[in-house]
């Protein structure tokens, strides 16, 4: 086996929700994660119906790939189908680009550090060194940057791989530079809310796209994942509410005496002197943030979750909520119960009378239901009963 470069560090995945709950002496349903940069909910189109036909044929290969998905991506991105390369999330495509452009003896440049650590991992796995002082075989750039959220000018180096995982929030793209040695990477994990499906795509000039395709495994994504992505593209997300919530969250963080950095993504970075101590204090309250040497990053979720974060940061020590999901072939229901907040409620998709049941038990309620009636209302009632039973343990 070929040795990895000296000093190579593998990517470290975050602990599971179950591990974090055990550390905090809480139930997994009481953990609210602000560390993943993903929406609070998957899209409405991510239903069993979206993958039903695919599941019926799951014993067969998707011969010919996923032309309908490629065509939908091309329309969404404003490019030709010959410019689209599918991958198992943007991470898969980062690794693909590193080994396509670089190898042992080459240098790879990473712009805007600190940034997403997988670029360095990908360079090491390709046998290359990360060194921007020499002429790089390829340069990686995260735009907007993670973890800062900054939207910096593009580097001049070519070839250039621009990771636009947060493109939908920023509204700026390098896709117009494909013929100038630029490869753009995007994902369905962030704005589209399909992180578990692992679907991403690269946009590249036709010759580059052909070479990237030759260097990857056949059918790099699963058929159910492709079906979910196709359904999501039929109704692209409106990120404006989340952008507005990002600005509200930043304002409230400043009111707490913190100094959040301007962000063009779905998260906010906050400089902080003792981030690890803060992490442990928040975890005891069921709140999980992402820490760095010089601060912490919080994902923008929805108003209720973000207010929970703000109260925890203020030392208000709110009782952790209970989250519950119920999914069937006909409906999907998300329930959150907030102890001690009876009378506060947001109910979407079904009768608001369910809030009275939660209030009678002493809980504030957020309930979101999608699906066809009458199953949607029936499953919402069952989901609330299950959540109340779980919260009463």
Q: CATH number for the domain including 292?
A: 3.90.1150.10
CB 158 within 8 A of CB 146: no
First-last CA distance in the chain = 51
Residues 190 and 153 placed together within one structural domain of the fold: yes
Alpha-carbon gap, residue 98 to 121, rounded angstroms? 9
Number of Cβ within 10 Å of residue 335's Cβ equals 29
Do residues 296 and 336 share a domain? no
Q: Could you give the number of structural domains in the chain?
A: 3
pLDDT, tens digit, 9 for 90 and up, residues 116-140: 999 999 999 999 999 877 899 999 9
Give the whole-angstrom CA distance, residue 361 versus residue 344: 12
Give the CATH number for residue 384: 3.30.230
Count other C-beta atoms under 10 Å from residue 182's C-beta: 22
Instruction: Let me know if residue 292 belongs to a domain.
Output: yes
pLDDT at site 261: 98
- Greater model confidence, 294 or 6: 294
Whether the pLDDT of residue 317 is over 80: the answer is no
| 179-196: average pLDDT | 97
Are 339 and 317 contacting, i.e. CB atoms less than 8 angstroms apart?
no
**Mean pLDDT for all residues in the chain:** 94
pLDDT at position 3 = 83
Does the pLDDT of residue 390 top 60, yes or no?
yes
CA distance 301 to 249: 10
- Residue 283 resides in a domain: yes
- Name the domain boundary from 233, 259, 286: 233
Report helix, strand or coil for 215: coil
pLDDT at 393: 52
| Vertex 43: Cα angle to 170 and 390 (nearest 5) | 120
Q: How far is CA 299 from CA 36, 121, 149, 235, 268, in A?
A: 7, 24, 11, 23, 7
**Are 384 and 255 found together in one domain?**
no
Q: Which residue has the tokens 């997994």?
A: 28
The per-residue pLDDT for range 340-369, each reduced to its tens digit, is 899 999 999 999 999 999 999 999 999 999
Q: What is the pLDDT of residue 44?
A: 79
What is the structure's pLDDT at 273? 96
pLDDT for 49? 77
Provide the residue range defining the domain that includes 332. 322-391
| pLDDT-wise least confident of 64-73, 98-107, 260-269, 313-322 | 313-322
**pLDDT tens for residues 35-90?**
999 998 888 778 777 888 888 888 899 888 999 999 999 999 999 999 999 999 99
For residue 146, tell me if it sits in a domain: yes
Q: Is residue 12 part of a domain?
A: no
Q: What is the pLDDT of residues 8-28, one digit of tens each?
A: 889 988 999 999 999 999 999
Residue 192, pLDDT score: 96
* Residue 200 in tokens: 């991403």
């Amino acid at each position: 086996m070929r040795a990895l470069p000296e000093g190579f560090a593998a990517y470290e995945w975050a602990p599971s929700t179950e591990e974090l709950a055990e550390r905090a002496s809480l139930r997994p349903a009481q953990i609210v994660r602000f560390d993943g940069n993903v929406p609070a909910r998957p899209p409405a189109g991510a239903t069993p119906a979206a993958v039903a036909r695919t599941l019926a044929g799951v014993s067969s290969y998707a011969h010919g790939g996923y032309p309908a998905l490629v065509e939908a991506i091309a329309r969404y991105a404003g490019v030709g189908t010959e410019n689209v390369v599918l991958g198992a999330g943007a991470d898969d495509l980062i690794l693909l680009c590193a080994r396509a452009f670089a190898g042992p003896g080459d240098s790879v440049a990473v712009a805007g550090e600190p940034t997403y650590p997988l670029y360095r991992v990908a360079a090491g796995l390709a046998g290359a060194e990360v060194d921007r002082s020499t002429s790089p075989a390829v340069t990686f750039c995260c735009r907007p940057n993670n973890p800062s959220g900054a939207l910096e000018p593009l580097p001049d180096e070519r070839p250039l791989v621009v990771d636009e995982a947060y493109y939908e929030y920023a509204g700026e793209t390098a896709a117009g530079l494909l013929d100038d040695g630029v490869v753009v990477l995007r994902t369905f994990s962030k704005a589209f809310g399909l992180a578990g499906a692992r679907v991403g795509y690269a946009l590249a000039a036709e010759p580059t796209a052909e070479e990237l395709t030759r260097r990857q495994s056949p059918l790099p994504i699963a058929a159910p994942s492709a079906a979910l992505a196709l359904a999501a593209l039929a109704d692209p997300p409106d990120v404006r509410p989340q952008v507005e919530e990002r600005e509200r969250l930043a304002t409230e963080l400043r009111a707490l005496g913190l100094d959040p950095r301007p962000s063009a993504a779905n998260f906010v970075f906050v400089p902080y002197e003792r981030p690890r101590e803060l992490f442990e204090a928040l975890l005891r309250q069921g709140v999980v943030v992402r820490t760095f040497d010089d601060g912490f990053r919080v994902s923008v979720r929805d108003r209720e979750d973000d207010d929970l974060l703000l109260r925890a940061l203020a030392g208000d020590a709110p009782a952790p909520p209970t989250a519950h999901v119920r999914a069937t072939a006909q409906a999907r229901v998300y329930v959150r119960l907030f102890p001690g907040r009876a009378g506060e409620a947001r109910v979407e998709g079904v009768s608001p009378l369910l809030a009275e049941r939660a209030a009678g038990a002493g809980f504030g309620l957020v309930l979101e239901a999608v699906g066809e009636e009458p199953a949607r209302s029936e499953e919402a009632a069952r989901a609330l009963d299950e959540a109340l039973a779980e919260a009463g343990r």
